[in-house]
Structure 1
Amino acid sequence: SLWLAGHGVPPVVGGAQVTLVPLGVTLIALFTAWASARRSGVVDRSAFVSGTVAYAVVVGVLGASVAGPVAGLRGLVGGALVGGTGMAAGLLARPEAPTWRELTRPWHGRLPIVIATAAEAATIAFASLVVVAALVVTGWVLAGRTTIVAIADALGVDLLGGAVLALAELAFAPVLVVWAVAWIAGPGFAVGEGSHFAVDAMTGGTLPAVPMLGALPGGDVVGGPAVLAPLLVVACGTVAGWYVHRGLRGRQGLRAWSGSAACVATAVITGLVAAVAMLPASGAIGPGRMTELGAPALLVGGVVALEVLVGSLLVVLPTDRLLRAATAQALLRGWQRLRRR
C-alpha cells in the first residue's frame, strides 16, 4: 500500500483515506526505473513504450486488487507517469543514447526562441527554488532537533518500531521540502484544519506525535528576518533572468520586447510547475483535522510566478540592448515633439 501510495493510489488506514503522496517512495520508484533502464534498456521507442505500459499495468492491477477499480485507474495513470519518466531518463543515460538536445531538436526548433529559452530558464528557476527549500528544511530540522528528540523519546518505540517510523518519515520528507517552497514564497501551508505556517503568521494546533513534525517552523521563526524569505524566490528569478539574457544575446530577429516576453513566459512556466508540485503534497493523512494538509496550489503558483518575474526583469531590463535602444529612441522622439510645441 505504501508503494502504491507513491504512485498516487491512496491507501486506507484506520478507516481514513491517506491522499498525501509519500514523495520519497515516488523518488525511489523513479530511481529504480532509471537504474533498470540505464543498466539493461534498449534505446528504442518500442522498448520505452512497452516498459512504460508494463509498469503501469502492474501498478494498475495491484491498485485494483487492493482498493478497487478507481484505485486501479489511478494506478495506471501514476504508474505511466512514474515509470515512463524514470525509464525515459534511464534510456537517455545509456552511452548509445542521443543527448537531450539532439532528441528535442525537432520540437525545440519549431518553438519561438523566446519560448524555448523561457522553458530552459524556468527549469533553472524551479531547480534553484527546490535547492533553497531543501536548505531551509535542513535549518528547520536543526532548529527543532530538541523537539524532534523529545517526541521520539516520548513514543517509547523499540528498535524495530523506530526503524519503521524513520523509514515512514523519510518517505514523507520530500513533502516537507514542497511545503517549504510554499513557505518561502509567502502563502504558507497547513498541517491540520485551522493551522497555518507562513513567514508572517503561525497558527498551530494539536498535531500527531510524529517526530518529523517537530521540524515545522514555530512562533520564534515568524516575523523578523523570515518576512524577507520571498526575496529568495526573487533571487531564483534573477538566476533565470541571467539565463534569459545569455540565451537571447546575439540572436537574430528579436524585438525590443523579446526579453520581457521571455521573462513573462519563464515566470508563467515556473508558476505552473510550482502549482503542480503542490498537488501531491496536499491532501489528508488521517481523520478529523488531518484531512487538510498542504498548500493552495493556485495561490502558490501565482505568487511564485510573480516573484520570479520580478527577479528576472531586474536582470533582463537593464541588460537588454534592444530595449535600451528602443527606449532611447522613444525618449528622443518625445523630446523632439515637445520642442516643436
Structure 2
Amino acid sequence: MKLRADQTGDRGLPMPLWLQGALETAQAAFISALVVMVPIIAVWATAGFQNAQFDVLARLAGQSWLLVHGVPLELTAAGSGTAAQADGKFLTLIPLGLTLIPFLLAWRAGRRLARASYTDQLWQALLGSWVVYAAFGAATGFICRTADVAINLGYALLVPLVPYALGMVVGARREAGSWSRLIGVDAVDWISRTSQHSRWAGSYLASAAKAGFVAIVSALALASALLAVDLFIHWNLVVAVYEALDAGAVGGAALTVAQLGYLPNLVVFALAWISGSGFAVGVGSQVSPLGTAVGPLPSIPVLAAIPSGPLDYAFVALVVPVLAGVLAGWWFLREGENHFDEWLSIKIRARWFTATASTLVLGALTGLAAGLLTVALAWLAGGSAGIGRLTAIGPDPFWTGVWVAAEVGAGVVIGYAAGPWLERERAVNVEDAADLVR
C-alpha cells in the first residue's frame, strides 16, 4: 500500500486521520464564519444597526452562516412564539457566491487529507471532518435561534454538509488523480470487463451528458455577458439607488458585497431570461424577453437594472441557448463517440434515415441533460426572501428546464449537422497553410 504523500513528498501531520480531519474542518468552519462576520462588524463599527448588542450581532452572524450553507431560516412573528409557516415566510434565497467560500475551504481540506491518507483509509479523515462540521452547524442553529428566526436543527445539522462534503470529495479526487487511488476501486478495470456494446453505450451516453454540460456552461457564459451589458446600460439607475440609500462608504461596501454574493444567482436568472421562461421578483411578477410585469421592488441597486417597458427585439435573446447547443453539437462531433449512429448504420443501410435519426436522438439526449442541469441551477438560485410579496424569487425550475432543453436540443442538431462542414473548412485551411510553408 502506497501513501498518497509519497507523490508529493509530504507525509502530512503525524496524527490520526480522524483527528486531522476534525482539525481541518474546525479551521474551515472558523474561517468561513469569520468571513461572514467581517461585513457585520464593519456595519456595526459605523453604528449601522439599530440594536448593536453583542449577542444580537453574534446570532445574526450565525444565521447568515447557516443561510450561506443553504439552511432555510423560518421567519416568525416577533415575540408571539408562533411560526409563520402557514404564510410561507421562509428565507431560502441562498447567496451562491458566498457558498463558494466553504466549498473552496473544503476543497483545500480534501486535498490535504488525501495527501496524508492511505488509499483505503481516507474514509476515516472524511468521517471525522463531516462529524465536526455537522456538529458545528447544529450548535450554530441551536444558539442562533431567536423569537424572530426559527431554525430547524435537523436542517442545521445536515444541510451545511452538502457544500462542504462536495468540496472535500472534489478536492480529494483532484489530489488523488483518479477514483481508483482515492477509494481503491478501479473503474477502468471494471469497465474493461464489460461487453463491447456496453462500453460503446456507456461512452455514448457519457459524451451526450458532457455535451449537455458544455451547452450549459456556454449558455451561462453568454448569459453573464448579457447581464454585464444590462448593468452597463442601466448603470445610472443603479447609482441613483445607491445615492438614495445614502448608506455611507462602509454601508455601501457591505451592500455591494451582499449583491456580489448573489451574482451567481443573477447569472442563472439571466439564463432563464434568455431561454424565454423568465423569472419572478415577487408573487405574480414576471420578467422575460416576451414581457415584463413587476410590482414595487425593494431599494436594492442591482434590481434597478431589470429591463422594463416594451422590448422590441428582446425575442432575439432566445437564440442564445440555441447557439450554446450548436457549440455542444460541434463538441460532440469532435469527441467522436457517436456509437449509436455507428450501430444504427450497421442495422439499417439507408444512410439518410440513420443520420437523421441518430442526430435527432443526440439532440434529445443532450437537451435532456442540459435541461436537468438547468432545473438544478434554477432550484438552487431561486427562493424566498420571506418579506411581503418576495416569497417567490427566481425562475421556475421545471419550465426553465423545459425551455432550455428544447432550445439546446435544436442547437445540437444544427451544430452536429454543420460540424462536418466546419471541420472540412478547418482541414482545407490547414492544407493551404502547409502549401504556403512548402
Normalising by the residue count of structure 2, what TM-score does the alignment of the two structures yield? 0.65
Shift in alpha-carbon separation, 1:31–1:249, aligned structure 2, 3 A = closer
Q: Describe the shift of the 1:77–1:181 C-alpha distance in structure 2 as closer, same or farther (beyond 3 A).
A: farther
Alignment of 1:299-338 (within 5 A): 299-317=399-417
In structure 2, relative to structure 1, the CA distance for the partners of 1:279 and 1:246 (3 Å cut) is same
Amino acid at match of 1:58: F
Deviation of 1:39 after TM superposition, in Å, equals 4.5
8 Å contact 1:187–1:198 — kept in the other structure? yes
Cα distance in structure 2, aligned partners of 1:34 and 1:57: 19
Per-residue CA distance 1:65-115 (angstroms, 9 max, x = gap)? 434997332234432320122112212332x53279997646877662321
Structure 1 counterpart of 2:98, from 25, 50, 56: 25
Q: Structure 2 residue aligned with 1:162, among 241, 252, 260?
A: 252
CA separation of 1:319 and 1:124: change in aligned 2, threshold 3 A: closer
Q: What letter corresponds to residue 309 of structure 1 in structure 2? A: G
CA distance in 2 between partners of 1:48 and 1:244 (Å)? 36
Residue of structure 2 in register with 1:91 after alignment: 172
List runs of 5+ in structure 2 lacking aligned partners: 1-62, 78-88, 193-198, 345-353, 421-438
Matched, 1:55 2:133: yes
Structure 1 residue corresponding to 2:312, chosen from 173, 198, 223: 223
CA contact (8 A) 1:128 1:236 kept: yes
Matching residue within 163, 186, 197 for 1:82: 163
1:7 aligns with 2:88: no
Q: CA deviation at 1:189?
A: 0.7
Post-superposition offset of 1:167: 1.6
Give the aligned residue type for 2:327.
V
User: What number of residue pairs does the alignment pair up?
Assistant: 318
| Inter-partner Cα distance in structure 1 for 2:261 and 2:178 | 33
106 and 305 in structure 1: CA distance in 2 versus 1, 3 angstrom threshold:
farther
Partner Cα distance (1:97, 1:249) in 2? 24
- CA 1:250/1:301 → structure 2, altered by over 3 Å: closer, same or farther? closer
The one of 395, 398, 417 aligned to 1:298: 398
Give distance in 1, aligned partners of 2:409 and 2:170. 30
Question: Do structure 1's residue 272 and structure 2's residue 360 form an aligned pair?
Answer: no
The answer to whether the 8 Å contact 1:34/1:91 transfers is yes
Tell me the distance in 1 between the aligned counterparts of 2:405 and 2:393. 22
Tell me if the contact between 1:244 and 1:263 (Cα under 8 Å) persists in the aligned partners: no
How far off is 1:49 after superposition? Answer: 4.5
Residue 120 of structure 1 corresponds to which residue in structure 2? 210
Q: How does 1:174-213 map to 2 (within 5 A)?
A: 174-213=264-303
The Cα of 1:227 is off from its aligned counterpart by 0.7
What is the CA distance between 1:9 and its match in structure 2?
A: 1.0
Mean CA deviation greater in 28-37 or 135-144: 28-37
Q: Which piece of structure 1 moves more, 139-148 or 67-76? A: 67-76
Q: Secondary structure at the match of 1:25?
A: helix
Distance 1:56 1:104, change over 3 A: farther
Deviations 1:241-270 (A, max 9, x none): 112222345859532344433332111111
Q: Which moved more, 1:185-194 or 1:259-268?
A: 259-268
Match of 2:84 in 1: none
1:291 match: secondary structure? coil
Of the structure 1 ranges 112-121 and 297-306, higher mean CA displacement relative to structure 2 is found in: 112-121
Unaligned runs of 5+ in 1: 321-341
Give per-residue Cα distances to partners, 1:19-78, cap 9 Å, x unaligned.
111111212221221133335543654134543444344324423443499733223443
The question of whether the paired residues in 1 share the 8 Å contact of 2:69 and 2:160 is answered with yes
Match of 1:73 in 2: 154
Per-residue CA deviations over 1:178-197 (Å, capped at 9, x if unaligned) read 11110010010111123211
Contact in 1 for aligned 2:72/2:151 (Cα 8 Å): no
Q: Report how far residue 136 of structure 1 moved.
A: 1.5
Measured at CA, do residues 77 and 139 of structure 1 come closer, stay the same or move farther in structure 2, by a change above 3 Å? farther
> Does residue 254 of structure 1 match 2:332?
no
Aligned partner of 1:158: which letter?
G
Question: 1:300 Cα shift?
Answer: 0.3
Is residue 192–residue 290 contact of structure 1 (8 Å, CA) maintained in 2?
yes
Residue 284 of structure 1 corresponds to: 384
Query: Is the 8 Å Cα contact of residues 20 and 281 (structure 1) preserved in structure 2?
Result: yes
Amino acid at match of 2:168: M
The Cα of 1:144 is off from its aligned counterpart by 1.4
Q: Supply the distance in 1 between the matched residues of 2:241 and 2:150 (Cα, whole angstroms).
A: 39
Match for residue 60 of structure 2? none
- Tell me how far 1:279 sits from its aligned partner: 1.1
Residues 91-142 of structure 1: per-residue CA shift (max 9 Å, x gap):
2332x53279997646877662321111111111111111112111111211
3-state SS of the aligned residue for 2:108? helix
In the aligned structure 2, how far is the partner of 1:202 from the partner of 1:76?
A: 40
CA contact 1:245–1:259 (8 Å) conserved in 2 = no
- Note the aligned Cα RMSD (angstroms): 3.0
* Range with greater deviation from structure 2 (190-199 or 9-18): 9-18
Letter in 2 for 1:310: A
